[in-house]
Amino acid sequence: MAGRPKLILASGSPRRLALLEQAGIAPDFLQPAEIDETPQRHELPRNLANRLSRTKAEVALRTARRDPDKEGAFILTADTVVAVGRRILPKTEFLDEAEGSLHLLSGRAHRVYTSICLVNPQGHIRQRIIESRVRFKRLSAAEISAYLASGEWRGKAGGYAIQGLAGTFVAKLVGSYSNVVGLPLFETVTLLSGEGFPVLQGWLHPVA
C-alpha cells in the first residue's frame, strides 16, 4: 500500500478482517499472534481482555521487528471476552462447551468486552476496552439443538456469533454491535486516526 504507513492485523479472525475492510482499511499483513488465552485464577473479564490484547501486541511487535518489510508498521490486535457476571465463557471448541454456554445465556443478560491494542510506528502501545450489554431471549430446546447443529458456535467467545443465526436470539443490545462481532469500529478508527494512520485514504478512489 504505497503512500501510507503499513498496517499489520495481528489476528486470524475473518470477522475482524471483514470489519476493518468495512471501514475502508485493508491491512498490509495478517500476522496472527498465537498465545495462551487461559484466564488466570480470579481474573476479571475486563482484565483478561486487556491482558490478552496487549500480550498479542507485544508478541506481534517482536515478530515484526525481525522482518524488514514490516519496519515502521502499525500493529492492531484485539481480544473479545463474553461474561455473565464475573464468569468468563469459553471460546467454544467442543459441543458440550457450546451447549453449556447457550443454556447459561438463555433468557439472561451478559456483557461482551473487546480490548483493542494499537502499536504505533515508534513502538508505543495504545489500548482501549469497550463493553456492550446483550440480553438473549429464553431459548427453547429446539433452538439450542438447531444452533448446535449449525456449527456456527465453533471458536466463538460465548458459543455464538451475533452476525449469524444467533442474531435472532438477541432481545436487547446496549452498546456497539461491531464490538460484539469482535472489533468495535468507532473506537478502532478513532484510535488509528489519533495515532496518525490515514484512515480516510482508503475511502478515496481515482476518478475515471
pLDDT per position as a tens digit, 8-59: 999 989 999 999 999 999 999 999 988 999 999 999 999 999 999 999 999 9
Known catalytic residues?
79
The secondary structure of residue 181, as a DSSP letter, is H
Angle 67-200-161 from CA coordinates, rounded to 5° = 75
Domain ranges of the chain: 7-203
Higher model confidence: residue 153 or residue 2?
153
3-state secondary structure of 134: strand
CATH of the structural domain 7-203, one choice from 3.40.50.620, 3.40.30.10, 1.10.10.10, 3.90.950.10:
3.90.950.10
Which pTM value belongs to this model?
Answer: 0.92
State residue 3's pLDDT score.
61
User: What beta strand segments (E) does the chain contain?
Assistant: 7-9, 29-30, 74-84, 87-88, 109-119, 125-136, 170-174
pLDDT per position as a tens digit, 95-123: 999 999 999 999 999 999 999 999 999 99
Q: Is the pLDDT of residue 140 over 70?
A: yes
State residue 54's pLDDT score.
97
